[in-house]
Amino acid sequence: MRIATWNVNSINARLETVVRWFEEAKPDVACLQEIKCVDEKFPAEAFERLGYNIAVHGQKTYNGVALLSKFPLEDVRKGLPNHPEHGGEDDEHARYIEAVIAGRRPVRVASIYLPNGNPVGTEKFAYKLAWMGRLKAHIQALLAYEEPLALLGDYNVIPEPRDAEFPNNWVEDALFQRESREAFRALKWMGLADAYLQADGAPGAYTFWDYQAGAWQRNNGIRIDHALLSPQAADLLTGVSIHRDVRSWDKPSDHVPLVIELDV
């Protein structure tokens, strides 16, 4: 089973590019982020003709996540649960969707669009950390099922200096703050494996290049799109690939697809 994650930076604005990639890469499951449309404006027909079942958690103009699968989608959940310590009662951001992919062996998959958090020192950064607290609590509950679990998406976290071409450029950014990185490590410490590090781990594997200042041309990239796997899913991991070339296509997203392969 090939499971992809891709922050498409507006599904309707880049539909031709996204459909082209789906036709060429043929993922079994895809986690999309930043679709930037409400559910009914998602271009479902373009993907249904390719054989995908679709679940969308959209939002007008901002955010939005989706799951596309060639297998049935079951037990769909939209949004994270509230948490007594980390809140969430008034959170209307569409940033999380999960479902059980009912293949030969079921796999629970989530599409995650974690808050950016900039500027540091504002309520946006506090929201980022609280959201990560809610995510951790929810993952802890999911891990109790002891099933293959794959949590893919744009985490908006640069885990280590090796995950940026020029780490000093990011020291003031929310993506590289100590608190953000500690919260990301806390997720992994629950027993989750970073799929890329497990399958490859070579430095310079970036998934995002800013549109400004020739970042793509200078390879001024960062690795912020991640796939975290439960022990049951990590045992099934057979490969990881970053589709770097997509960044050079017409009307690209500033992110590129990350694809993991599970032996299911």
| Residue 263 designated active-site | no
Residue 54 identity (one-letter amino acid): I
Q: Which backbone phi and psi does 76 adopt, to 5 degrees?
A: -75, 135
DSSP 81: P
86 catalytic, yes or no? no
Specify the pLDDT at position 202: 86
User: Is 123 within any annotated ligand binding site?
Assistant: no
Q: What is the pLDDT of residue 83?
A: 86
pLDDT, residue 257, reads 98
Ranges of residues in the chain with a pLDDT under 70 are none
∠ CA 206-212-213, rounded to 5°: 95
pLDDT in tens, 43-76: 999 999 999 999 999 999 999 999 999 999 999 9
Residue 118 is assigned to a ligand binding site: no
The pLDDT score that the predictor gives to residue 94 is 98
pLDDT of residue 85: 82
Concerning whether 113 is annotated as a catalytic residue, the answer is yes
Is the whole model's pTM more than 0.75, yes or no?
A: yes
Residue 16 is assigned to a ligand binding site = no
User: Which of 57, 86, 91, 154 is the catalytic position?
Assistant: 154
The pLDDT value given to residue 84:
76
Residue 103: what pLDDT? 85
**Residue 53 labelled as part of a binding site:** no
CA 139 to each of CA 135, 166, 168, 229: distance values in angstroms, whole numbers, following the listed order = 6, 31, 31, 11
Catalytic residue (one of 52, 86, 91, 113): 113
Instruction: For residue 23, count other CB atoms closer than 10 A to its CB.
Output: 9
Both ends of the chain: CA-CA distance in Å? Answer: 6
pLDDT at 196: 97
* Of 57, 138, 226, 255, catalytic: 255
Measured from the Cβ of residue 84, the count of other Cβ atoms closer than 10 Å reads 7
pLDDT on residue 251? 94
| Amino acid 264: pLDDT | 92
Domains and CATH numbers, the chain: 2-262 (3.60.10.10)
Q: Is 243 annotated as a binding residue?
A: no
